[in-house]
Amino acid sequence: MSDDHDDSAIAAQVRDLEAVLEEKGLLDPRELDQVLEAFAAKSSPANGFRVVARAWTDDGFRTRLLDDANEALPELGLSMGGGLQPQVLHVVENTADVHNVVVCTLCSCYPLSLLGPSPTWYKSPAYRSKVVSHPREVLEQFGLTLPESTRIEVWDANAESRYMVLPRRPDGTQELTEAELAGLVTRNGLIGTAAV
């Protein structure tokens, strides 16, 4: 695949495969629609917000999340399931010295169940190519200016692996509840194009 990846060609292939499976009686389109609707109903950035808020308030959960996110997510009733192929979620933590940003250079692989539908810009060839070569410049276009001393790490998602950023907890939030903290998190913060 390349940067000129054509999602419409893949969509056409999926429709053709669905038609063949329907003809052979292996797929009931109503059941498929129900499964897709149920998955979409549960896919929301609010899931990622909850994950971050728990990591900010529970050091044990934070450690488990960073070590093996797929094992930690069920603690919140979440998972990376829902597809034909299991996806491994890697959570990368922003610190005072390192800022992480996520991209999928081949297409638009994205942890849909935790972040909801991906933003249009995430799929754009301009973002996908430029964030890899000039991440600081791209972050500045999003309004995020980091100190020159901050190292920026770019994580490239793929069909098997997805990434989510664990943003730094804002100063002065020690008295906030987990629900209040979740309200501070943004989808762009989970991708790394914004601070929280």
| Structure confidence by residue, pLDDT tens digits, 45-72 | 999 999 999 999 999 999 999 999 999 9
Statement: residue 3 has pLDDT above 60:
no
CATH topology of domain 43-191: Nitrile Hydratase; Chain A (3.90.330)
Percent of the chain with pLDDT over 90: 66
Sketch the domain layout of the chain as residue ranges.
Answer: 1-42, 43-191
| Structure confidence by residue, pLDDT tens digits, 83-102 | 556 689 999 999 999 999 99
- 38 neighbors 30 (Cβ within 8 angstroms): no
pTM of the model: 0.80
- 161 neighbors 90 (Cβ within 8 angstroms): yes
Q: Which residues are catalytic, by number?
A: 104, 107-109
Question: How many C-beta atoms lie closer than 10 Å to residue 162's C-beta?
Answer: 24
